């Protein structure tokens, strides 16, 4: 989750950037792709649909109904078909019904009247293919497609790279002098020195990669050790090998300092014993995905940290959203000389995580071991399920119980810690949870999510980049992942002692957090809800560090 430099309360779903930044550039094009562009008619109302954003595993859609007819509209109905596998998970400013692949939206009681010349808009988040065969009040939608500048979305891998969801993150105590071997604070500059220290005790060669998006130009590319950014070129319909852009890393007991330019958001990869295999397509860079069959990096020991560096500062985090592999501390030194750090495992923590996961029949297969006996990684549950290594319905019974709890009682969501008066009330009807604001207006609706939706904070729980649906979605996903939904009726709430106490629970996230010195980790996409994430930030960064710790 390379974190956004923006106010987290103003841009709640920045974690998607992590996915989009490095995966493909097709997403940017998709964000302005209209689904329908039929001739406009001045004699009747029209509807136009557009993709607001697309992060690969899901998309946000918007419909604008324009009354270009001769009389006022008193109600409206928009319907369309989705291709096989497509579905709508959450929606707002409309009511929805679905019959198979056919989806119908109708007005709420407060937005059905559309005067001549006026417009009304509603939105939704879906997955799979995009809509077709649009109709407005039984007639073809018509209308010209509306283009838009794509929203800057930030991850997990799906989804999205990510801003904290609450107030400024709590950082661990300053790292000790032996962890921060530089005593003088460098002057501010256009590049930030990042020192990678190898304290693993391993004899493998280490290779580093700095990959990301230039926030000024929007280009994907790589950075050399001196901090020069180069955009990727080439690529083909069939992925071709990317240029070798590896930076020699430190041997055991040594350190290597590289430079990262400002206005870059991306990842710093580190691999052991072998270089990573990156590929280029016409759409962009194909990143390592060792949970996927046939990925050439499956037998390589590697990991990454994520970052955003711009004029507002540095956000740097370790990430376990996809996998738990190489333990490392991330830290930043500010202009005052103050150092913040996080991500440090307790002594023997890596092995304790591995042992706990191996001991669970449900999770054991997510531990990936190389032929030579090296444990390469523990896959996050969503990735393990995708790879057929654990049940894809593992959380279903808990999700149903938690969802149905709110048929008979209200759920209160207060997503912003600095705005306690902003709150939403949820009640479940059938499989849909509807949320109202303090005036009683229905502002968001969510279909009951699947286990995969919870693991990925996607699909029915995808979070659009707004101030209502996105904050509610991320709160729901965090509560479901931590098994507090159904038990704690105000969300977010509780402490770490309340998390992962349900049954079944996310053992992966539980044991990773338990084995962190400060309890902080990015064990799922919205682990930043209630500041549980392993993130450091400084508005005036002078140097940063990644310390690879013993394992």
Catalytic residues: 306, 322
Question: Residue 332 pairs with which residues in a beta bridge?
Answer: 340, 544
Tokens 């500062």 belong to residue: 313
CA nearest neighbour of 345 among 197, 513, 171, 493: 513
The contacts of residue 307 (CB under 8 Å, 6+ apart) are 2, 3, 212, 260, 264, 265, 266, 267, 268, 314, 315, 316, 317, 544
* DSSP β-ladder status, 191-198 and 541-548: parallel
| Burial class of residue 263, CB neighbours in 10 A (0-12, 13-18, 19+) | middle
**What tokens appear for 412 in the block?**
């209160």
* DSSP β-ladder status, 411-413 and 490-491: parallel
Compute the chain's Rg from CA coordinates. 24
At residue 352, what are phi and psi to the nearest 5 degrees? Answer: -65, -40
Per DSSP, the residues of 201-258 read ---S-EEEEEEEEETTT--EEEE-TT--EEE----BSS-EEPP---EE-PPTT-EEEE
Secondary structure class of 379 (helix, strand, coil): strand
Within 10 angstroms of residue 63's Cβ, the number of other Cβ atoms is 27
Q: Is the peptide bond before 537 cis (omega within 30 degrees of 0)?
A: no
315/308 Cα distance (integer angstroms): 5
**What tokens appear for 334 in the block?**
């500010």
Secondary structure class of 86 (helix, strand, coil): coil
Tokens 């509610």 belong to residue: 472
319/252 Cα distance (integer angstroms): 22
21/188 Cα distance (integer angstroms): 26
CA nearest neighbour of 148 among 57, 60, 87: 60
111/169 Cα distance (integer angstroms): 39
């Amino acid at each position: 989750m390379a974190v956004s430099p923006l106010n987290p309360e103003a841009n709640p779903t920045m974690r998607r950037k992590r996915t989009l930044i490095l995966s493909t550039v097709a997403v940017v094009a998709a964000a302005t792709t209209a689904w329908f562009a039929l001739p406009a008619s001045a004699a009747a109302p029209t509807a136009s649909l557009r993709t607001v954003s697309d992060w690969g595993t899901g998309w946000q859609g918007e419909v604008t109904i324009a009354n270009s007819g001769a009389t006022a509209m008193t109600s409206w109905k928009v319907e369309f078909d989705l291709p096989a596998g497509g579905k709508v998970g959450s929606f707002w400013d409309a009511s929805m019904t679905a019959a198979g692949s056919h989806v119908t939206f109708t007005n709420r009681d407060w937005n059905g009247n559309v005067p001549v010349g006026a417009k009304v808009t509603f939105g939704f988040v879906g997955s799979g293919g995009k809509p077709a065969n649009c109709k407005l009040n039984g007639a073809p939608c018509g209308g010209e497609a509306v283009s838009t500048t794509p929203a800057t979305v930030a991850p997990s891998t799906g989804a999205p790279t990510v801003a904290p969801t609450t107030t400024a993150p709590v950082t661990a105590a300053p790292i000790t002098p032996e962890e921060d071997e530089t005593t003088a604070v460098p002057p501010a500059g256009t590049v930030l020195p990042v020192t990678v220290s190898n304290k693993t005790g391993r004899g493998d060669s280490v290779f580093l990669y700095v990959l990301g998006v230039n926030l000024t130009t929007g280009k994907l590319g790589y950075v050399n050790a001196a901090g020069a950014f180069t955009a990727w070129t080439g690529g083909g319909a069939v992925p071709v090998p990317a240029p070798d852009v590896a930076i020699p890393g430190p041997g055991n007991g040594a350190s290597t300092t590289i430079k990262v330019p400002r206005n870059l958001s991306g990842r710093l990869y580190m691999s052991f014993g072998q270089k990573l295999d990156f590929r280029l397509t016409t759409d962009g860079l194909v990143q390592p995905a060792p949970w996927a069959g046939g990925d050439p990096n499956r037998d390589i020991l590697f990991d990454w940290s994520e970052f955003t560096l711009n004029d507002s500062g540095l956000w740097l985090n370790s990430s376990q959203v996809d996998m738990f592999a190489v333990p490392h501390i991330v830290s930043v030194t500010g202009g005052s000389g103050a150092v913040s750090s996080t991500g440090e495992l307790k002594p023997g923590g890596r092995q304790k995580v591995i042992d706990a996961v191996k001991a669970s029949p449900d999770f054991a297969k997510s531990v990936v071991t190389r032929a030579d006996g090296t444990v390469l990684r523990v896959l996050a549950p969503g990735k393990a399920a995708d790879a057929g290594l654990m049940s894809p319905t593992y959380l279903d019974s808990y999700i149903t119980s938690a969802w149905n709890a709110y048929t008979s009682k209200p759920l209160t969501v207060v997503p912003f810690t600095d705005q306690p008066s902003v709150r939403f009330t949820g009640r479940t009807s059938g499989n849909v949870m509807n949320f109202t604001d303090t005036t009683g207006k229905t502002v968001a609706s969510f279909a009951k999510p699947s286990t995969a939706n919870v693991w990925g904070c996607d699909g029915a729980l995808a979070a659009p980049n707004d101030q209502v649906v996105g904050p509610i979605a991320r709160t729901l996903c965090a509560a479901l992942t931590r098994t507090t939904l159904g038990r704690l009726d105000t969300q977010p709430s509780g402490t770490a002692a309340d998390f992962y106490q349900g049954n079944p629970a996310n053992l992966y996230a539980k044991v990773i957090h338990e084995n962190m010195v400060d309890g902080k980790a990015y064990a799922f996409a919205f682990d930043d809800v209630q500041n549980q994430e392993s993130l450091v930030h400084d508005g005036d960064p002078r140097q940063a560090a990644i310390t690879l710790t013993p394992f």
